[in-house]
Homo-oligomer: A and B are copies of this chain.
Amino acid sequence: MTTDPLSSIFSALADPTRRDIVARLAVADATVNELAQPYEVTVQAVSKHLRVLENAGLVSRSREAQRRPVHLEAEVFDLMTKWIERYRRQAEERYRRLDDVLRAMPDDVEPRPPRPRQTGAGR
């Protein structure tokens, strides 16, 4: 499957169990069994989660006897951070400029209502 890197990373982190796994791996490497311990699900399910994380490049596994310690690869976070920050900055820059325009606007010109909002969240 040819999924682009960012998609796999975001998708991997969209699951709360996998985010929790990442959080725990940030503290220390751990084996599949150890990781599976606190969750309700089977070890197999956690193994699947780890494969998703591995395919996204977020973790790697080594071999140590029968155990296969899982290790967090924090560098991949950069890809995400860069993407996010890029558009966040771009958007913020745009609002700043909009504010400038509004501030410089002469009084007789009717500005478009400054983004009226209305989320429609409550359905």
Contacts and interface: CB of A to CB of B under 8 A. Distances in A.
Contact of A119 (B14, B54, B115, B121): B54
List the number of copies, as a whole number. Answer: 2
Do most interface residues of chain A lie in helix, strand or loop, or is the interface mixed?
Answer: helix
Contacts of A94: 26-28
B57 A121 contact: yes
Given A7-B16, A14-B14, A74 B60 contact: no
A37 interface: no
A74 B92 contact: yes
A38 interface: no
A23 interface: yes
A11 to B, nearest CB: 4
A120 B88 CA distance: 34
Interface of A: 4, 6-7, 10-11, 13-16, 19, 22-23, 25-29, 54-55, 57, 60-63, 71-72, 74, 77, 80-81, 83-85, 87-88, 90-92, 94, 115-121
